[in-house]
Amino acid sequence: MPVSHRLTAPAPGWTTTTDVVVVGSGVAGLTVALNVRKAGLRAVVVTKAMLDDGSTRWAQGGIAAALGEGDTPEQHLDDTLVAGAGVCDEEAVRVLVTEGPDAVRRLIAIGAAFDKGADGEILLTREGGHHRRRIAHAGGDATGAEISRALVSAVRSDPGLELIEHALVLDLLTDADGHAAGLTLHVMGEGQRDGVGAIRAKAVVLATGGMGQVFSATTNPAVSTGDGVALALRAGAEVTDLEFVQFHPTVLWLGPEAEGQQPLVSEAVRGEGAYLVDADETRFMVGQHELNELAPRDIVAKAITRQMQLKGTEHMYLDGRHFGAEMWAERFPTILASCRSHGIDPVTQLIPVSPAAHHASGGVRTDLRGRTTVPGLYACGEVACTGVHGANRLASNSLLEGLVFAERIAADLADRHRSGDLPERAVDVAGARAARSVPLPAPEARAEIQRLMSRGAGVLRSADNMAATAAGLALLAEEAHAHAAEEKPADPRVETWEAANLHLVATALVAAAAQRRETRGCHWREDFPERDDAHWQRHLITTLSVATGAPVSTPEEH
Ligand code: SIN
C-alpha cells in the first residue's frame, strides 16, 4: 500500500542515492550500518542531532546478557517473560537471550570497554526483575556513553559510510508496489544539503529511538519525539503495544514544575543495595514482592506511586548513604555528579525520586528479521516492537535488543543483496507528495500535548482521564485544520513537524490505552485494576485509517 498521509513539507530540493538508509545513531542504528557495510552495501546514516546524541548514551545501568558463571539464556528468558506479564513473544525473547551473549562479545571486539574485576572478568550487577547478576556495565554507570563511543568511533573510521547529522526524517518514499524506496528529510544545516531533501534507497531502517517527550517529565533526551513511529504510521505500517510505556521508578525529583529530560538514578543503585524509603525512612517495598526493591520495574513504579498517594507527597526517597563516599565515586560517578549538581549529596542525604516516562515497550511491529509490515521498511531498537518486552521491559534488555535485532536486520539485507532480492527502486520523489498532507500544529502544541498526556495517560489511567486527554488532542488537531482552512497554516519547520509527530503518537497511544480494559505490566487502569487474561492476553495493533488519518487499534486475533 502506498503512503497515504504525509507531513506538510516543501518539495525536496536535493536528492541522494544509496543502498540502505538508516535513521538513528544509537546502538541499533550504528550496528545496522556497520554490518551492512561489511556485506558490501552502501549506507547512509541520518541522525537528528550529532551522531552520539541519541538515547543510547544516556543508558546508565548496562546491558543484560547471560555472561556470568552459572547463568544461562534460559534463566534470562524466564526473567524476561515474567517481567513482560504474559504478552512477550517467546520466540523473539529466545532469539534475544541466546544471541545476546555473543552479540555483546562482538561489541567488545569493536572496542566497547566494560568494567572488569581484578581477575579480568566482566563485572556484572543486578537490576529489577533479574534473579541473577547479569548486567554488564562500563565507566560505573556510563554504559551507554561507552557503547556509543565505541560504535561512533567505528563508524567514523569507515570513509564509505555517509553520515547526515542534524536531520529530521519526514516521510517514507515508496515505489509503485508500495516497497520502501527511500525517505524525505529536512537537514538543519547550510550548504548543499540544506532544507528538505530526499534519499532514494533499496531499503530503509528506522532506529529513531523512543517517544518519551510525549510526556512532561521523561528520562529521554529532547530528540525523542516519536518520529519513527509517526513516520511508520503515516506509511501504513502496523504498530503494537503502544500502551505499554514504562515509567522508570527512580528519576531524580526536581520539583513539581520540572519538565523535559530528567536525571535518571539507575536501578543498578538498588541492585547494589540502596533502599526505597518514605519520609520517615521506612522501607515500603519489603513484603510487597520477593525481590523487594528489585521487583520488576512496573511493580516498583506502582508501589512508589501508591505510597506518594497515601502520604500525599510528590516523591519518595532512595537511600544509598551506607555505600560511603568511595563506592559512590567509583561505582556511580555520573549519578553522584548529577545529584550533587542539583544540591543533593547521596553520600549523606536521601535522594528524592519519583517515576517518569522512560521506555516505549511498544513500537513499529517487526518480525524476527526486523521487517515491518511495509515491504523494505525495517525497524530496530526502541522504535520497534519485536515482541521481546511484552507489557513491561526487563531492565537493561533494551541495549541488547537494539544490538541483536540490528545484527539480524543487517543479515537479512545481506542475504537479500546476495540473492538479488534488493533491486533499485523507482520512485517519483515529487509525485510521492500527492499523498494527503497532515496540517501541522503550532509549535506551542508540544507543551500542551505533554501536559495532556501526563495528566491523562501517565502512570495511572482511567477511562475518564484518557477521554479528557483524547478530547484535548482532538481539539489541537481541529485547530490545525482550521488554521490550514483559513490559509494560515503553521509553517513547516522542525518545531511543527515534531509537534505533529508527538500529536500522532500521543493520539495512537491513548487510543490503544483506552481500549485495553485491564491492568497489565506498566499499563495501570484504576477502573480495571485486574489482569484479564481471558480477553487481553494479546497485542493491540494500531494503524492509521486511510480515510480519516485517525489511529485505530484492533486486538490481535487469538
Ligand atoms: C537504569 O539504569 O535503571 C536504566 C536501565 C534500563 O532502562 O534498562
- The response to whether residue 395 sits with its C-beta less than 6 Å from ligand 1 reads yes
Q: Is there a domain that residue 74 lies in?
A: no
Q: Alpha helix locations (H) across 53-125?
A: 73-83, 90-110
Domain harbouring 286, CATH code: 3.90.700.10
Ligand 1 closest atom vs CA 399: 8
Ligand 1 centre distance from Cα of residue 503 (Å): 26
3-state secondary structure of 63: strand
Residues 254, 537: Cα–Cα separation, whole Å: 37
- The response to whether residue 396 sits with its C-beta less than 6 Å from ligand 1 reads yes
Ligand 1 closest atom vs CA 127: 3
Which H or E element spans position 246? strand 245-252
What cell does 371 get? 521487517
Asked whether the beta carbons of 319 and 279 are under 8 A apart, the reply is no
Q: Is there a domain that residue 128 lies in?
A: no
Ligand 1 closest atom vs CA 395: 8
- The response to whether residue 398 sits with its C-beta less than 6 Å from ligand 1 reads yes
Ligand 1 centre distance from Cα of residue 381 (Å): 15
Ligand 1 closest atom vs CA 141: 2
- The response to whether residue 61 sits with its C-beta less than 6 Å from ligand 1 reads yes
Q: Is there a domain that residue 506 lies in?
A: yes
The angle, 0 to 180 degrees and rounded to 10, between the axes of the packed helices 398-418 and 143-156 is 20
Ligand 1 centre distance from Cα of residue 267 (Å): 6
Number of domains comprising the chain = 3
The answer to whether residues 341 and 370 belong to one domain is no
The answer to whether residues 456 and 409 belong to one domain is no
- The response to whether residue 267 sits with its C-beta less than 6 Å from ligand 1 reads yes
What cell does 319 get? 537511600
Per-residue pLDDT of the chain (558 residues; tens, 9 = 90+): 567 799 999 999 999 999 999 999 999 999 999 999 999 999 999 999 888 887 888 898 899 999 999 999 999 999 999 999 999 999 999 999 999 999 999 999 999 999 999 999 999 999 999 999 999 999 999 999 999 999 999 999 999 999 999 999 999 999 999 999 999 999 987 656 779 999 999 999 999 999 999 999 999 999 999 999 999 999 999 999 999 999 999 999 999 889 999 999 999 999 999 999 999 999 999 999 999 999 988 899 999 999 999 999 999 999 999 999 999 999 999 999 999 999 999 999 999 999 999 999 999 999 999 999 999 999 999 999 999 999 999 999 999 999 999 999 999 999 999 999 999 999 878 766 567 788 899 999 999 999 999 999 999 999 999 999 999 999 999 999 999 888 888 899 999 999 999 999 999 999 999 999 999 999 999 999 999 999 999 999 999 998 888 999 999 987
Ligand 1 centre distance from Cα of residue 329 (Å): 19
Asked whether the beta carbons of 474 and 495 are under 8 A apart, the reply is no
Q: Is there a domain that residue 85 lies in?
A: no
Ligand 1 centre distance from Cα of residue 60 (Å): 6
Q: Is there a domain that residue 90 lies in?
A: no
The answer to whether residues 52 and 146 belong to one domain is yes
> Mutate which of 55, 56, 60, 361 to test ligand 1's pocket (most atoms within 8 Å of Cβ)?
60
Q: Is there a domain that residue 470 lies in?
A: yes
The answer to whether residues 167 and 155 belong to one domain is yes
Ligand 1 closest atom vs CA 61: 2
> Mutate which of 267, 388, 397 to test ligand 1's pocket (most atoms within 8 Å of Cβ)?
267
Ligand 1 closest atom vs CA 359: 7
Q: Which of 126, 200, 297, 516 is catalytic?
A: 297
Does the active-site annotation cover 297?
Answer: yes
Longest dimension (CA), the chain: 71
pLDDT tens sequence across 430-441: 766 567 788 899
Domain harbouring 423, CATH code: 3.50.50.60
The answer to whether residues 50 and 160 belong to one domain is yes
Ligand 1 centre distance from Cα of residue 395 (Å): 5
Give the pairing of strands 195-200 and 15-17. Answer: parallel
Percent of the chain with pLDDT over 70: 98
Residue nearest ligand 1's atom 1 by CA: 266
The answer to whether residues 519 and 402 belong to one domain is no
Ligand 1 closest atom vs CA 397: 8
Ligand 1 centre distance from Cα of residue 327 (Å): 19
Which H or E element spans position 28? helix 27-38
- The response to whether residue 60 sits with its C-beta less than 6 Å from ligand 1 reads yes
> Mutate which of 58, 218, 248, 318 to test ligand 1's pocket (most atoms within 8 Å of Cβ)?
248
Residues 515, 490: Cα–Cα separation, whole Å: 32
Ligand 1 centre distance from Cα of residue 62 (Å): 7
What cell does 72 get? 544461562
Q: Is there a domain that residue 186 lies in?
A: yes
Predicted local confidence at residue 70, as pLDDT: 95
Residues 83, 106: Cα–Cα separation, whole Å: 27
The answer to whether residues 529 and 470 belong to one domain is yes
The answer to whether residues 176 and 255 belong to one domain is no
Asked whether the beta carbons of 473 and 503 are under 8 A apart, the reply is yes
Domain harbouring 473, CATH code: 1.20.58.100
Domain boundary among 331, 355, 379: 355
Predicted local confidence at residue 549, as pLDDT: 87
Amino acid at 98: T
3-state secondary structure of 143: helix
Predicted local confidence at residue 189, as pLDDT: 73
Q: Domain span at residue 204?
A: 8-59+142-244+361-430
Ligand 1 centre distance from Cα of residue 521 (Å): 16
- The response to whether residue 334 sits with its C-beta less than 6 Å from ligand 1 reads no
- The response to whether residue 63 sits with its C-beta less than 6 Å from ligand 1 reads no
Domain boundary among 387, 412, 430: 430
- The response to whether residue 268 sits with its C-beta less than 6 Å from ligand 1 reads yes
> Mutate which of 124, 266, 270 to test ligand 1's pocket (most atoms within 8 Å of Cβ)?
266
The answer to whether residues 240 and 252 belong to one domain is no
The answer to whether residues 51 and 167 belong to one domain is yes
The answer to whether residues 398 and 451 belong to one domain is no
Ligand 1 closest atom vs CA 128: 3
- The response to whether residue 354 sits with its C-beta less than 6 Å from ligand 1 reads no
pLDDT tens sequence across 496-528: 999 999 999 999 999 999 999 999 999 999 999
Domain boundary among 430, 465, 488: 430
3-state secondary structure of 116: strand
Compute φ and ψ for 184, nearest 5 degrees: -105, 155
The answer to whether residues 449 and 524 belong to one domain is yes
Predicted local confidence at residue 557, as pLDDT: 85
Q: Is there a domain that residue 383 lies in?
A: yes
Other C-beta atoms lying within 10 Å of the C-beta of residue 338:
18
